Each structure stands twice: as C-alpha cells, then as structure tokens.
Structure 1
C-alpha cells in the first residue's frame, strides 16, 4: 500500500471521500507546502545575508529554485497520470506558467515595499518583516498557487493527454480506500 493510501485509510469518512475525489489537488497542496518551505528558507537566507538590501531579488531567486523543485515533484507525483507531452515541451510550458506565477507572486511584495513604503526607515524592522512575509509568502504565494494549479491542469499536464497514460499504468491508486 502506498503512503497516500495508508494515510487516507486513517482519515474518517466523509473527509476521506472528499480527499480521494480531490486527490490531485491534495498532492498539489503537499508539493506546494514543500516548496513553500524551500522558497522561504532560501528567501530568508538570502534576504538576511548577501541580499539584505534587495528583498525582491532574493524572493525571485528563492522562487526560481522552489519552482525547479516544484516541477520535479509535480511531474513525478501530483500530475503523474496527466501530461504525456515530450519532456522538453512539457518543461517549457511548466516554466512559462511558473514564470507568470513568479510575477504574480512578486507583485504584493513589491506593492508592500515600494508603494505602501512598509520598509525601514518608514516602519520598524519588525513591521517590515511581517509585511514582507504576509505580502510575499502568504498573499503572493496564494495568488500564484491558484494560477499555477489552473495553468498546470490546462496547459502543462492536460487530462486528455493523460488518458492513454492512465490506461497503460497499472499502479494507479484505487478510487476508494479500504477501511481498517
């Protein structure tokens, strides 16, 4: 039994039915949570050290690294039953959608810092850091995540290309999980 199925087996009904029905979204959120940690870890490492005067640049670098991690995890896990394009074409589409998402992710941080002036010396360092986190890692990330999920399903890993793949794959998860 795969990890996902063993976790689902412990979840009570009716939540289990919802999770099984939206399995792809749940996997996408798990990948997103993982890349959220990667993104913020790298962002704060850069922002608090070598790029302390360039938080937007530090965030862009962190997002790019997290996007590479995201591609691998989404390709091999979240959307593994979709797609079917040539790998280079699929990767190009993935990074184009992700590039737009990077811009979407950076807009709230840019607005916070440079339009609302939520930066030192206009506010305290504490307020600046809270504003950076809220705008760059919460608002921006949620907007970008919604766009990515839609874009990945629509263009990068379209279901119609995955039908043949699912028909030939024998290790797909069952639609229901047995109770224990």
Structure 2
C-alpha cells in the first residue's frame, strides 16, 4: 500500500522566477492574441461601416471591448495563481491601466491619421497594430507590478516560488 502526500520544495530562486515569468508571458501572449483579434476585427468592422469617419472613436470602442476580453483572460487564467487584492480594487486598477494603454493606442491612431495623413485600410491597420504594441508593453509591466500583484509570505518570498512535488512512500506488503 502506498501513501501519497505533497511536499513543498523550494527550487532555486532564479530558476523559479524564470519558469514563472515564462508561463505568465506565454499565457499573457495567448490572452493578448485573442484580445488583439477582437480589437483589430472590431476596429475594421467599425471603420468600414458605421464609424467610417470617426477613426479615433472606432479605436476606443474596439479597444474597450478587447479590454473586457483581456480582463477575463488575465484574471481567471494568466494571473490566477497570484493572491489578489479585493476584486473591485483590482478591476479599478486593471481598467485604469487599460485606459492609459488605450489612450496611447488612440493617440497614435489619431496622430498618424490626422497629422501624418496616413490614410487607407493598410495604414490604419499598420498604425493600429503599432498602437496596440505600445500599449501591450505598458500593460504587461503594470499588470505584474500593480494589478495582479502577489503578496509575499512571511520570509519575503513570492508564494508561487514554491513547487509542489508528489512524494510516495515505499510500499509495504
């Protein structure tokens, strides 16, 4: 008969940080890719339809919808392992951060469209892509640092540094 029980084992700090960062970056990238498709798809639908003369407004609407998609993905998947502050504080921070990132993206679109006169579907898409990229760099850093910040344990370690390893005792027959 064998007994199973988990042991908490501390791996090397740098190894754990790299592994955790990689997992978060990968998940953040997947959520971001889905949000990107929502943002770009809706932006293109709006600028070729009901908001054809309101480029900046179309970008703000598409960005807001993509932000809602990103909230769900990041809250419940990418950063779910972090101990979070009360949800209403986290939501306020998340949408404040995304409001700034959306502002960066919308300002870039407005600047390139109205000042540089880069018109047409090609330039709108190129500049929407660049604006989203600029906002994404800002978002990842602020999500990790402020929005989905984890609490440290009594010894100053991040709880996600602990790795659970299954230990089996020897069978006794």
Please say whether Structure 1 and Structure 2 have the same fold, judged by a TM-score greater than 0.5: yes
Residue pairs, 1:1-180, within 5 angstroms: 22-119=22-119, 128-136=120-128, 138-160=129-151, 163=158, 166=160
The Cα shift of 1:107 comes to 2.1
Compute the TM-score of the two structures, normalised by the length of structure 1: 0.73
Cα distance, 1:52–1:161 mapped onto 2, change above 3 Å = farther
Contact 2:71 2:94 in 1 (8 A): yes
Number of equivalenced pairs: 144
Structure with the higher fraction of residues in helix conformation: 1
Unmatched runs of 5 consecutive residues or more in structure 1: 1-17, 120-127, 175-180
Structure 2 gaps, min length 5: 1-17, 166-173
Runs of 4+ in 1 over 6 A off after TM superposition: none
- CA 1:83 to 1:61, structure 2 compared with 1: closer, same or farther past 3 Å? farther
**RMSD over aligned Cα, in angstroms?**
2.4
Could you report, residue by residue, the CA deviation over 1:52-82 in whole angstroms, capped at 9, with x for unpaired residues? Answer: 1111111110000010110010000111112
Q: Deviations over 1:112-147 (max 9, x none)?
A: 11110123xxxxxxxx211111111x2101100000
Contact kept in structure 1, 2:36 and 2:66, CA below 8 Å? yes
Q: Which has the larger radius of gyration?
A: 2
Looking at structure 2, the residues matched to 43 and 157 of structure 1 have their Cα atoms a distance apart, in angstroms, of: 28
Structure in which a larger fraction of residues adopt strand? 2
Q: CA deviation at 1:159?
A: 2.8
Instruction: For 1:58 and 1:161, locate their aligned partners in 2 and report how far apart those are by CA, in whole Å.
Output: 41
Q: Give the SS at the match of 1:159.
A: coil
